[in-house]
Amino acid sequence: MIAFKKSGYASVLFLTALVILAVVYLFKSTHQQKILIAKETTALRLFLPTDFGYRKYSTQALLDEIRHKKIILVELQGNPDEDKKRFEFIRQEARRLEYTYDTTSVIHVRFPKESTYGQFVYLTDMMQEDKHKRYGITGDDFYIFGENPPEQ
C-alpha cells in the first residue's frame, strides 16, 4: 500500500510538471508570433536620393548636393499649433517642387530640441503619402528635393 502511494504521488507530480512546461511553451511561442507580427507592420521605407545609378549617400554628399541650390528654410518651434501651420506650408512647397519638377530649390526643415519623434514620423509619412522620392536626413535636419523631369 505504501509503495502505491509513493508511485501515485510521483506520477501526479510528473504530470503536473508536464502540464506546466506545456503551458510555458505555448505562451512563449504565441508571444514570439506577436513580436514578429509587430515587426512586420512597423517598417519604414526609405528612398535614396536618386532612382538610377550608384550614388554615395552620406552627410557630405547631401551637403554637396544642396550647395548651389536655393534653400527654403523652415524651422519648427516645438509649439504644436505653430508647427501644424509650418507642416501645411512644408506639404504645399514639397508638392510644388514635385509637380513643377523644380530641381533648383530645396526645402530644409530644422527640428529643434523640443521636437518630438512624432513630428519626425509625421514628416516622413507626409513624404510617403505624396510619393516623394528625394529627401534626406542629417542630424536634426531634413531636406526635401524636387523631382527630376521624366525622360521622354
Residue numbers of the domain that contains 18: 1-43
CATH number of the CATH domain containing 124: 3.30.110
pLDDT greater at residue 72 or residue 27:
72
Q: Are 98 and 126 in contact (CB under 8 A)?
A: no
Number of domains in the chain: 2
pLDDT at 24: 76
Same domain, 118 and 83: yes
Where helices occur in 67-116 by DSSP H, the ranges are 80-99
Residue type, 18: L
pLDDT-derived band of residue 92, with 50, 70 and 90 as boundaries?
very high
Same domain, 63 and 25: no
pLDDT at 74: 93
pLDDT-derived band of residue 109, with 50, 70 and 90 as boundaries?
very high
Residue type, 12: V
pLDDT at 1 > cutoff 60:
no
pLDDT at 43 > cutoff 60:
no
Element (H or E) spanning 107, and its range?
A: strand 105-110
Strand order in the sheet with 105-110: 70-75, 105-110, 141-145, 135-138
Same domain, 111 and 140: yes
Residues in the chain: 152
Same domain, 79 and 107: yes
